[in-house]
Chains A and B, each alone.
Chain A
Amino acid sequence: MNADFTADDLAFQAEVKDFLEKEFPSAYRKKIDARQRLTKEEIVDWQKILFRKGWVAPNWPKEYGGTGWSPTQKYIFSTEMGLVGAPEPVPFGMTMVAPVIMAYGTEEQKERFLPDILESNVWWCQGYSEPNSGSDLASLKTSAVRDGDHYVVNGSKTWNTYGQHADWIFCLVRTDNTVKKQEGISFLLIDMKSPGITLKPIVLLDGHPEVNEVFFDEVRVPVENLIGEENKGWTYAKVLLTHERTNIAGVPRGKRRLGSLKRQAAETDDGFGGTMADNPNFKRKLAEAEIELLALEYSELRTLAALTVGKAPGPESSILKIVGTELAQSMDEMLVELAGYGCLPFLPEQYEEGFEGEIFGPGNSASAALTYFNNRKLSIFGGSNEIQRNIISKAVLGL
């Protein structure tokens, strides 16, 4: 047993570090450090840099433009990305819809959609959740009724992330009401410019309209946009959900955040002549978070090592999701604690795309509570942490 990288892996790690050092634009790095949002153009620009390097889709098969990396190389890549704060490609196209198109799409669909996803020419968003279908996703009601060579779609989707940027949406729609709920669902690709689609932004607790409600009113979708067979959409979506997701635990990002919390603690007065870095309670929380991060990192490495020797990824990803998100949320609490009064100003606009003025407040303290609020989503989305516990109790414990 050892956790060492091979010489080849180390050479690869050096290559990745070198690439990020040179190619990840310092302007973006600065914005990310100041917790400002990148604009759509900046995100696309960064993804195109990755594309030109051939590194934008590590999880894609080589024939479609993937890297052909080993699981260890993928891990190194996402670790180095996380350590410098470089954003992973927006997942909706690259890691969510593309694998489904590859597995179940026709040749024509693959040629039509995959190259534009790889090149970041087309922005995708997700149409899964509905106002009355959250964790019980299979109860969804948005309907698609066949009318000649079109489907007519009616209903609404919610928690749609960055639909305001999107060109296309992949949706789960109901095509049969008469069977078991899982067996009447189809997987449909819809052009966001289609007549009858309207978007209503939802402003979240941090003041940012990160998500939308999407309404479909008699939207006509050509039947060639159906993926696979009608009424098999649930099966395809489940494959997507279990599709290997690298970096689900967020260890590199966690390390980066922990480092910044430590630096910040050393710069934050405790009110009695010392700093928060010497505060026994805070020191303890930092130590506990750091220890948890190590346990999480080695859990991820153990999962990865199992993948390397060809074992299938199991429900371990549920552990990584639960622990990774809860740990991230505990760091958000520490952020608020360090900010103190500094977290009280509610000024979300200064973190918005394109904000040019001076940021108010000492350091990033005015963003602390906003981050805390926003990251409450972590334990809710991607299958809530309760759903993950259901998966563990069923798939691992056999309950």
Chain B
Amino acid sequence: MDFSQTEEQQMLQESVQQFVRKSYDFDTRNSIVSTEQGYSAEFWKLFAELGWLTVPFSEADGGFGDSAVDLTVMMDEFGKALLVEPYLATVVLGGGLIAALADEKSKGELLPPVMSGDLQLALAASEHSGRYNPLSVETTAQVDGDKIILNGVKTAVLNGINASYLLVTARESGEVSSKDGISVFLVPTDSSGVNIQGFTTIDGRSSSEVQLEAVSVGASARLGQPGKAAEALLMVNEKATVACAAEALGALESMLHKTVEYSKTRKQFGTSIGTFQALQHRMADMFIQCQLARSIVIRAAMKIDSNESTVEKTKAVSAAKSRIGYAIKAVGQEAIQIHGGIAMTEELDVGHLFRRVTALDIMFGDADFHTERYASL
């Protein structure tokens, strides 16, 4: 039993911390959010140089080792910094799905530019009617001679406007939410019939809605066997879920820390508000929530890295996302409440952290969704 970080994990953590301290303060972050593309291309190149973009890839694919624990160490720090760069979209989801599905030739073409920071990707999987179920796919893929025609609407497509390729989930056969029949297609974003409507999310990320109208791709655009993408999709989904949970962890601990510090300096009734027991106990509860959430997120990452069954891994991920969803509400709302009015303004970072964790709660399924999924397994 060993819960201490490896030397590599420590270096990774320090490398992110150092970058944030030096180059990614709150104002810098906000000015990045207000740009059209919504991320800093310059910083993205730096992330590549620092090796961060290789983390969730196996050594065989030229990556750092594909450890979920390594990934959580990094996401934790991203969460504290409110980072908006499209790490989840391009590296974890896009890159992860290519690594899981594509043949060696395509991997050789696509993964090196992902890891070198030269290629942006977006996963177009979610649909309005599918809610948080990645297997609920209404988008169709119809073979037409040597072409395949894609039709459908995708939502919550992170990084869509910046991506060179969309990874589109589409159904070749089967009922709307059946496991069989789902394929993933690599679609250049400049293809005819692809319409990407970009927007900024509540937590400052670049996202989009994507319409696919009779988009025509070649058979080589299909990653893996026809209709057999579900397992890979679910696996990548689990990893991204844990990544989001870890990101929330960092954001929540940051909120706790800021709340405690603020309560020591804010004076009312002639004394700092942190001396009031009514607030002390609530901050103690925030601390407890953070600790429990950390424990169960670490557990989920360790399970993903273990040799246990898929069911055990899925259960561990749902336990973590369910529990952190609860912590997000508890810690996030208390942070705002204890700060008082000032946290309602855009001027303070606490409100932005609140927006970030609110989005993270929803991404890949909220607490209710995951509690139910846990209970059903």
Using CB atoms and an 8 Å cutoff, list the residues of chain A in contact with chain B.
1-6, 9, 72, 283-284, 286-288, 290-292, 294-299, 301-302, 304-306, 308-309, 316, 319, 322-323, 386, 388-390, 392-393, 396-399
State the Cβ distance, B257 to closest chain A Cβ, in Å.
Answer: 9
Q: Does B280 contact A (CB under 8 A)?
A: yes
**Which residues from B are CB-within-8-Å of A309?**
4
Within the assembled complex, what's the spacing in Å between the Cα atoms of A205 and B293?
35
Partner of A295, one of B69, B264, B285, B292: B292
Within the assembled complex, what's the spacing in Å between the Cα atoms of A354 and B375?
41
Partner of A398, one of B1, B260, B319: B260
**Which residues from B are CB-within-8-Å of A319?**
287-288, 291-292
**Which residues from B are CB-within-8-Å of A291?**
296, 319, 322-323, 371, 374
Q: B152-195: which have CB < 8 Å to A?
A: none
Given contacts A284-B372, A291-B319, is CB(A389)–CB(B281) below 8 Å? yes
Chain B: CB-nearest residue to A391: B284
**Which residues from A are CB-within-8-Å of B6?**
1
Within the assembled complex, what's the spacing in Å between the Cα atoms of A302 and B280?
25
Q: Can you list 27 residue pairs at the A/B interface with Cβ under 8 Å? A: A1-B9, A1-B69, A3-B1, A3-B3, A3-B299, A72-B1, A283-B375, A284-B372, A287-B322, A288-B371, A295-B292, A295-B293, A295-B296, A295-B319, A298-B296, A302-B295, A304-B1, A319-B288, A386-B281, A389-B284, A390-B280, A392-B288, A396-B287, A397-B260, A399-B260, A399-B263, A399-B280
B295–A397 touching, CB < 8 Å: no
Chain A: CB-nearest residue to B281: A389
B288–A4 touching, CB < 8 Å: no
Within the assembled complex, what's the spacing in Å between the Cα atoms of A304 and B1?
9
**Which residues from A are CB-within-8-Å of B3?**
1, 3, 301-302, 305-306
State the Cβ distance, A18 to closest chain B Cβ, in Å.
Answer: 22
Within the assembled complex, what's the spacing in Å between the Cα atoms of A364 and B371?
29
B275–A399 touching, CB < 8 Å: yes
Q: Does B34 contact A (CB under 8 A)?
A: no
Closest 10 CB pairs of A and B: A298-B295, A287-B375, A393-B280, A305-B3, A392-B284, A389-B284, A295-B292, A295-B296, A299-B295, A389-B281
Q: Provide the B250-283 mask, 1 if CB < 8 A to any CB of A, else 0.
A: 0000000000100110000000001101001101
Chain B: CB-nearest residue to A306: B3
Chain A: CB-nearest residue to B301: A1
B323–A295 touching, CB < 8 Å: yes
**Which residues from B are CB-within-8-Å of A1?**
2-6, 9, 69, 298, 301-302
State the Cβ distance, A319 to closest chain B Cβ, in Å.
Answer: 5
**Which residues from B are CB-within-8-Å of A398?**
260, 264
**Which residues from A are CB-within-8-Å of B69?**
1
**Which residues from A are CB-within-8-Å of B294?**
302
B4–A294 touching, CB < 8 Å: no
**Which residues from A are CB-within-8-Å of B372?**
284, 287
How many residues of chain B are within 8 Å of chain A by beta carbon?
39
State the Cβ distance, A329 to closest chain B Cβ, in Å.
Answer: 15
State the Cβ distance, A326 to closest chain B Cβ, in Å.
Answer: 10
Using CB atoms and an 8 Å cutoff, list the residues of chain B in contact with chain A.
1-6, 9, 69, 260, 263-264, 274-275, 277, 280-281, 283-285, 287-288, 291-296, 298-299, 301-302, 306, 319, 322-323, 371-372, 374-375
**Which residues from B are CB-within-8-Å of A292?**
292, 323
B283–A286 touching, CB < 8 Å: no
Partner of B371, one of A284, A308, A322: A284
**Which residues from B are CB-within-8-Å of A388?**
284
Partner of A305, one of B2, B9, B285, B291: B2
Within the assembled complex, what's the spacing in Å between the Cα atoms of A393 and B279?
10
Within the assembled complex, what's the spacing in Å between the Cα atoms of A308 and B319?
27
**Which residues from B are CB-within-8-Å of A298?**
295-296, 298-299
A284–B375 touching, CB < 8 Å: yes
**Which residues from B are CB-within-8-Å of A290?**
319, 374
**Which residues from B are CB-within-8-Å of A287?**
322, 371-372, 374-375
State the Cβ distance, A82 to closest chain B Cβ, in Å.
Answer: 18
Partner of A296, one of B1, B285, B292, B306: B292
A305–B4 touching, CB < 8 Å: yes
Within the assembled complex, what's the spacing in Å between the Cα atoms of A66 and B168?
63
Within the assembled complex, what's the spacing in Å between the Cα atoms of A300 and B285?
17
State the Cβ distance, B118 to closest chain A Cβ, in Å.
Answer: 32
**Which residues from A are CB-within-8-Å of B264?**
398-399
A299–B287 touching, CB < 8 Å: no
Within the assembled complex, what's the spacing in Å between the Cα atoms of A302 and B99?
33
Within the assembled complex, what's the spacing in Å between the Cα atoms of A4 and B302?
10
**Which residues from B are CB-within-8-Å of A295?**
292-293, 295-296, 299, 319, 323
State the Cβ distance, A80 to closest chain B Cβ, in Å.
Answer: 16
B302–A3 touching, CB < 8 Å: yes
**Which residues from A are CB-within-8-Å of B5?**
1
**Which residues from B are CB-within-8-Å of A9?**
1
**Which residues from B are CB-within-8-Å of A304?**
1
**Which residues from B are CB-within-8-Å of A396?**
284, 287
Within the assembled complex, what's the spacing in Å between the Cα atoms of A3 and B295?
12
Contacts A291-B296, A296-B292, A302-B298 known; 19 new A-B pairs at CB < 8 A? A1-B5, A1-B298, A2-B1, A2-B302, A284-B371, A284-B375, A287-B371, A288-B371, A291-B374, A295-B292, A295-B299, A298-B298, A299-B291, A305-B3, A319-B292, A392-B284, A392-B288, A397-B260, A399-B263
Within the assembled complex, what's the spacing in Å between the Cα atoms of A109 and B275?
44
State the Cβ distance, A245 to closest chain B Cβ, in Å.
Answer: 18
Within the assembled complex, what's the spacing in Å between the Cα atoms of A9 and B292?
26
Within the assembled complex, what's the spacing in Å between the Cα atoms of A295 and B299?
8
B295–A392 touching, CB < 8 Å: no
**Which residues from B are CB-within-8-Å of A316?**
291
Chain B: CB-nearest residue to A394: B280
**Which residues from A are CB-within-8-Å of B4?**
1, 305, 309
A4–B1 touching, CB < 8 Å: yes
A294–B296 touching, CB < 8 Å: yes
**Max count, chain B CB within 10 A of own CB: residue among A290, A291, A308, A389:** A291
Chain B: CB-nearest residue to A388: B284
Within the assembled complex, what's the spacing in Å between the Cα atoms of A306 and B288?
18
State the Cβ distance, B89 to closest chain A Cβ, in Å.
Answer: 26
**Which residues from B are CB-within-8-Å of A5?**
1
A389–B2 touching, CB < 8 Å: no
State the Cβ distance, A101 to closest chain B Cβ, in Å.
Answer: 32
